[in-house]
Amino acid sequence: MGEAAELACHELLLSLAGRLPDRQLWRFRDWLAAGALSELSHVLPLTLLRERIGLLDDEFRLLDAALRPHGADVGLLSSIRELYELPEVGYVFHEHDSDNVGRNSLGDQLAVLLAALLRGRPSVGEVRATWRRPRHPSGRGVVEVRRVLLVTATAGHAALTGELQRVQRAVGESDPCVEVLPVGYVPLPYHRAATAASELLCVGAEDPYAHLVGGVR
Amino acid sequence: MAESSDRIALPIRVHDFLLALAGRIDDDALTDARELLAVAELDRAVDLLTASLVAGRIPLSADERDELRALVDAVRSAPALVDRVIVNDNALLPRHRFTTGVMDDPAPDTGVLDAIGRVIEVLPDIRALSCVWRATPAGVPAGPVPQRVVLVETGPDGFAASTAYRVEQSLRRAGIRASVEVIQAGTDVTEYHADALAVSRRVQLRQVSGRGHDANGESGGSLFTDSPTPRTVTSTRRRYAAGAHAEKRSTVDATTGRWQPRIAHDEPAAAEPEPDPVKPYEAAAQPVAEPASHVAVVPVEPEPAPALPELALPEPGPDADLSHRERELLRQLHEELAKREGESPEETGTNGYSGHQRHSADPTATSPEVSAQFPGPEFTNGTEFDNGHSGQFNPGEFGGPSWQQSAAEQTAVNGIPPYGGTQG
């Protein structure tokens, strides 16, 4: 039950990419990687309610499988509103940072670090990166352009997510965007768009079997 | 702990708890929790803290865990979450290194004033601002180093949680990533903050604000200069002074406006130290202790010498209203009159009359018992007693022994006892 709940929670948090603020999402994923499902069971439903974030039917099933066994308040879960379709993805993706010509996924310290960590690593498939920017910038302040890592893996998804997030934070990305996609995962529009505009960084030991759906090699 | 914490507002308790965790959980968790606290989402702030402690396997002391549990209860969150926090009273706190420059890093205060100038003009009672780089990582999902730490000191009228939030937001808008630690003057400083303050670079707020935060003269007692905080000192002294003042006022007779002698009815004579027969005024001449300065705050006027006809000598009631000096003067008066009239004081009646009637009968009457209470001092010549009250009793007019009154005696005569002498 523990692994199933963890995987369900991981997929739920994947589905919230681009819908929940990065600052909260990376932390929830970090808690999951640390095995803090009980804490997530308390905090995540409250956050969905306070942020007025609705869920699809499939996501409700994930929520139920992941959090109810760890003490989530059923009353709170019942208050989360249903979605019948996902809203438009609020971001656009590019292979390179369009605002910074010299900034690309292959040419910086993080790329070197990721290659050292993940090349040939068991259970890891492809490691890709893309650059994300808001589809409708607010017009105030600096437009935030973020790097999004896309990794396929056959096991240990939550732990791998946590590890890569911490690596990214250590090199200066305060709210890292790391999407570790299980093999066979049917990606949502956010991940499809991200993968379509991504660049391959390196491959792990599972490369032949863990290609990203719709990915471009 | 719970008893004292009950008297502190919940947001302040959460803020203090966050201060205690600085350097132990990651800076972003602290920042987010402070934001939630500032926007009155205390439950989410406490939940974030608790989950961060559990996920990061960050130990707390038993006291800290108890405080966290109390906070969780107070915000009606899930108490079971606290059970998963690691408790270890012997765990070493992470030590951090602070510096004002690491390699090519700019000065820690670079751009800070420009970023927060408007905010600190609006926020109340900001007293000091310092900046420093922390060269060591904090928390488990640590951010990059060096990390800029902005330390703000507020006075008692400041709002620590709001200040932390608003200052951090302003810095973030300006593209400056920093941990903002707000410490209220007069509170204990953690080791983390003390280490940071010891190295930090002080920023002069008056450069930004025309009204000058530093220019108000209160920064001299700032935590940021390792000197006692003005709040602690001044509030204590003010309280004490007010108490002393009130006590003095309580000795004023509302009907007469006179100081009531400390040997009045409600204070038995035993409370007044009995003069040493050998050195009768030595005790009164003892230097007044330090708190005498508080006594001096109250305007003290020498009590006018009572007119002779109103003196009440033998009767216990009125007699108790006489001060030591008055008794001495009366005794001298009796002796002088006795000499002039060739009449021994011992032959004078002692009881059975009062007021003017008594005086008209025998104004010099006194008793051996009364005289025995005032062993004869050796008076020296002195005319200070007159005090401008001409027409009232003046021993010099009778050619009797003149005397000089010491300052200590005068204090006693005026009914103001030495400090602590009549407290109970």
- Range B135-147 average pLDDT: 91
Ordered DSSP codes for B168-194: HHHHHHTT--EEEEEEETTS---HHHH
Question: Binning pLDDT at 50, 70 and 90, where does residue B362 land?
Answer: very low
Q: Which of B84, B144, B177 sits opposite A38 (nearest CB)?
A: B84
Structure tokens, B340:
């002039």
- Range B268-292 average pLDDT: 37
Mean pLDDT rounded to a whole number for chain A = 90
Distance CA A71, CA A60 (A): 16
Contact B78 A42 (CB under 8 A): yes
Q: Looking at the predicted structure, is the pLDDT value of residue B399 above 60?
A: no
Q: Which of A27, A31, A169 sits opposite B143 (nearest CB)?
A: A169
More confident residue, A19 or B384: A19
Percent of chain A with pLDDT over 70: 90
- Ranges for all domains in chain B classified under CATH 3.30.300: 94-228
Q: Apex CA B299: angle with CA B294 and CA B304, to 5°? A: 130
Question: Binning pLDDT at 50, 70 and 90, where does residue B327 land?
Answer: low
More confident residue, B310 or B68: B68
Question: Binning pLDDT at 50, 70 and 90, where does residue A121 land?
Answer: very high
Domain B94-228 is of which CATH architecture? 2-Layer Sandwich (3.30)
The answer to which of A111-120, A135-144, B82-91 has the lowest mean pLDDT is A135-144
Contact B29 A27 (CB under 8 A): yes
Length of chain A, please? 217
Q: Which of A34, A47, A170 sits opposite B55 (nearest CB)?
A: A34
Domain boundaries, chain A: 2-79, 91-209
Q: Looking at the predicted structure, is the pLDDT value of residue B314 above 60?
A: no
Distance CA B152, CA B161 (A): 11
Question: Binning pLDDT at 50, 70 and 90, where does residue B363 land?
Answer: very low
Q: Looking at the predicted structure, is the pLDDT value of residue B242 above 80?
A: no
Predicted local distance difference test score (pLDDT) of residue A58: 95
Percent of chain B with pLDDT over 90: 39
Q: pLDDT tens digit string along A38-57? A: 999 999 999 999 999 999 99
Contact A142 B175 (CB under 8 A): yes
Q: Apex CA A123: angle with CA A122 and CA A127, to 5°? A: 95
Q: pLDDT tens digit string along B68-112? A: 999 999 999 989 889 999 999 999 999 999 999 766 768 999 999
The answer to which of A71-75, B18-22, B112-116, B409-413 has the lowest mean pLDDT is B409-413
Q: Looking at the predicted structure, is the pLDDT value of residue A168 above 80?
A: yes
Task: Tell me the nearest-neighbour CA distance from A67 into chain B, angstroms.
Answer: 14
Task: Tell me the nearest-neighbour CA distance from B41 into chain A, angstroms.
Answer: 10
The answer to which of A158-162, B228-232, B323-327 has the lowest mean pLDDT is B228-232
Name the one residue in this structure whose structure tokens are 């600096």. Answer: A142
Q: pLDDT tens digit string along B270-280? A: 434 433 433 33
Contact B81 A142 (CB under 8 A): no
B136-140, B295-299, B329-333, B335-339, range with greatest mean pLDDT: B136-140
- Range A188-210 average pLDDT: 88
Predicted local distance difference test score (pLDDT) of residue B19: 96
Distance CA A127, CA A121 (A): 11
- Range B344-363 average pLDDT: 38
Contacts of B105 (CB under 8 A, 6+ apart): B133, B146
CATH fold for domain A91-209: Beta Polymerase; domain 2 (3.30.460)
Predicted local distance difference test score (pLDDT) of residue A95: 87
Q: Using alpha carbons, list the distances in angstroms from residue A191 to A18, A111, A152, A187, B136.
A: 9, 20, 12, 6, 36
Residues A147, A110: contact at Cβ < 8 Å? Answer: yes
Distance CA B48, CA B55 (A): 10
Predicted local distance difference test score (pLDDT) of residue B325: 56
Question: Binning pLDDT at 50, 70 and 90, where does residue B339 land?
Answer: low
Predicted local distance difference test score (pLDDT) of residue A206: 85
State the ipTM, two decimals: 0.90
Q: Looking at the predicted structure, is the pLDDT value of residue A28 above 90?
A: yes
Burial group, residue A123, by CB count within 10 angstroms (0-12, 13-18, 19+):
middle
Predicted local distance difference test score (pLDDT) of residue A2: 80
Predicted local distance difference test score (pLDDT) of residue B402: 37
Q: Looking at the predicted structure, is the pLDDT value of residue B292 above 50?
A: no
Contact A170 B144 (CB under 8 A): yes
